[in-house]
Amino acid sequence: MAKMSVGIADNLLLSVIRAWDTTGLVDGDFKPERPRIFVAPAMNSAMWHQPVTRQNLSILRDQWGWSPANPEGWVTVLPPIEKSLACGDVGSGGMMDWRDIVRQIEEHLNLSKNQA
């Protein structure tokens, strides 16, 4: 999240994100909808509540985040949940349940069975 928010591209994933067509300038003619990046953070509770994480999150969610009020947005942050974390603590910072992540992506891609 921190690297994404400042545009660092030092691995394949971050390079793909850095090359994302955030304006539709490149892909606009043949993609009906701007592609979306789903971010599902997972970290220790202390990291999640760290002020710099809040700043990074604010970029992804409040500036780049898609919402009905910001249809130009290209990021969806799937907030972490409270659960038993890998470090042994119980607290917020656990990745959203993978089934819920799949459901959100299915809904975005109009693949969910609920939509006819």
Ligand X SMILES: *[C@@H]1O[C@H](CO)[C@@H](O)[C@H](O)[C@H]1NC(C)=O
Comparing CB distances to ligand X, the nearer of 53 and 96 is 53
- C-alpha 25/C-alpha 51 separation (Å) is 34
Q: Show Cβ contacts of residue 21 under 8 Å, excluding neighbours closer than 6 positions.
A: 27, 28, 34, 35
Comparing CB distances to ligand X, the nearer of 2 and 13 is 2
Residue ranges of alpha helices (H) inside 44-92 are 45-48, 51-58
Contact between 10 and 3 under an 8 Å Cβ cutoff? The reply is: yes
Nearest distance in Å: CB 7, ligand X: 9
| Residue ranges that bind ligand X, judged by CB under 6 A | 2, 5-6, 32-33, 52, 55-56, 59, 108-110
Nearest distance in Å: CB 59, ligand X: 5
Comparing CB distances to ligand X, the nearer of 45 and 83 is 45
Residue 29 among the catalytic residues: no
Residue 56: CB atoms within 10 Å: 18
Nearest distance in Å: CB 8, ligand X: 9
Of 26, 81, 87, 109, which residue is the catalytic one?
Answer: 87
Element (DSSP H or E) covering residue 90: strand 90-94
Residues labelled catalytic: 87
